[in-house]
Chains A and B, each alone.
Chain A
Amino acid sequence: MLDSARLRIAVRRGPPIVEDLRSTTVSDDPVQRRDLILLERARDGDLDAFNDLVVCYQDHLYALVARMVPDRDQASDAVQEAFFSAFRNMHSFRGGSVRSWLSRICVNAAMDAQRAKKRRPSQPYPELEDDTWQPPAGAEADPVHTTLTHERTTALNEALARITDDQRTAIVLFDVEGYDYAEIAEMTGVSLGTVKSRIHRGRLALRGLLEDRMELFRG
């Protein structure tokens, strides 16, 4: 075995070239390029640059976490903790999309919040109502349509708050955030098959919970 051809080739081959993506990757996407510049400046100690990133992504990340953790206070705390964690660990960012990196940190923070809620089940999640925000209604808005949309949103939020945390996380990441199965599997640390199963079972559970109100969703 020691004098096999494969070994000789392996010995002749030089060490693999490891590319450091952190400072050399230049993205074609202007948003990504802006994010990388801001992150580079934040790494150099510019807090305003980091806060520019916070301003860019806090709406998106709060919406993501609040769908996963229906308790508003817990969701806020999880997002704040995620930004703290991002600030602490920005030197370990290895390139790629800053948005995905922040989303991953937020998903982890949200999952931690879910686990904390399980450990201290003081009260079940309150239903996730969107009373604090309503879509802007133009003058031509149809009141019937607006009412229907509101009822549908309320019913769906209530049902989402009642399925399991794992199913809700998978559904939110897939349907609301638009991640694919592989990305969700990587984010949540489970297999691709588990992600599919959670999404399918979660949708079936939602359908079971909404069975009496399905007319809101049809047509």
Chain B
Amino acid sequence: MAERHVEHDPLHVAAHAAGDPGGEAAMGEVLVRECGECAALADDLRAIAAATAALPPLQRPRDFSLTQADASRLRRRRLGGLGWPSRLIGRPLAGGLMAIGLAGILFSTVPSMLTRSSAGAADPGGDPAASRETVIGQGEGDAAHNLPAPGDAHAAIRSPGRLQSPGPAASAPPSAFEPPRRAPSEPPALLAASVFAFMLGGTLYVALDLRRGRGAG
């Protein structure tokens, strides 16, 4: 049997040496009875377990008592962790801020997207430069080039103001008689900043709150 020792499962022997009940230990018992090397292994494992149990205790390097300062700090942290503002006000407030931010983004971006898409739909084969000028209203250099011809109904619809000023004035740059227009749906900078601040504040609060919750748990 000894020559087949390499085929014996040492875990069965370990289970038997540990005194486990069950099939593994029973198989280990058979191995220990019939194989000298398994018996030696079991003896070694028992000796190691006994030596581990008899390890001398380790001397602690310092006293772990809490000071008054520790206690105050920990009490504050505990109160902060349980804090009612966090649960009753903080989380709804953060959720509200995020909702306001999201709503702001929707209100500021969707109308401009709709305008763009409707402009694109109204002039599917039109001159892209003209279309850009109509939507954004900033086409200064090529404005004269894009002035409508008398029979160009599409262009007349796109820029009706230009039709009222034909003739010599048409050769002048548009800034001379018509200030550049803002796109009607472009969000004001203040609104964009507020939306961003709301979103950022709400997200940060939720993230910090979740992190604090994990630490307390």
Measured CB to CB, the residues of A under 8 A from B are 47, 50-51, 54-55, 58-59, 62-63, 66-67, 72, 76, 79-80, 83-84, 87-88, 130, 132-135, 152-153, 156-157, 160, 171-172, 175-176, 178, 196-197, 199-201, 203-204, 206-207, 210, 214, 217-218
Contact = CB atoms under 8 A, between A and B. Distances in A.
Given A200-B15, A214-B47, A217-B47, A130 B56 contact: yes
Given A204-B45, A206-B48, A59 B56 contact: no
A29 B125 CA distance: 92
B51 interface: yes
Interface of B: 10-11, 14-15, 17-18, 20, 41, 43-45, 47-53, 55-66, 68, 70-71, 74, 77-78, 81, 216
Given A76-B60, A204-B11, A204-B45, 7 more contacts: A87-B74, A130-B58, A134-B56, A172-B52, A199-B14, A210-B48, A218-B44
Nearest to A81: B64
Given A59-B57, A63-B57, A51 B51 contact: no
A171 B48 CA distance: 11
B65 A62 contact: no
B78 A133 contact: no
Contact of A156 (B17, B44, B52, B62): B52
Contact of B60 (A62, A88, A130, A157): A62
Given A200-B15, A218-B47, A72 B61 contact: yes
A204 to B, nearest CB: 5
A126 B57 CA distance: 18
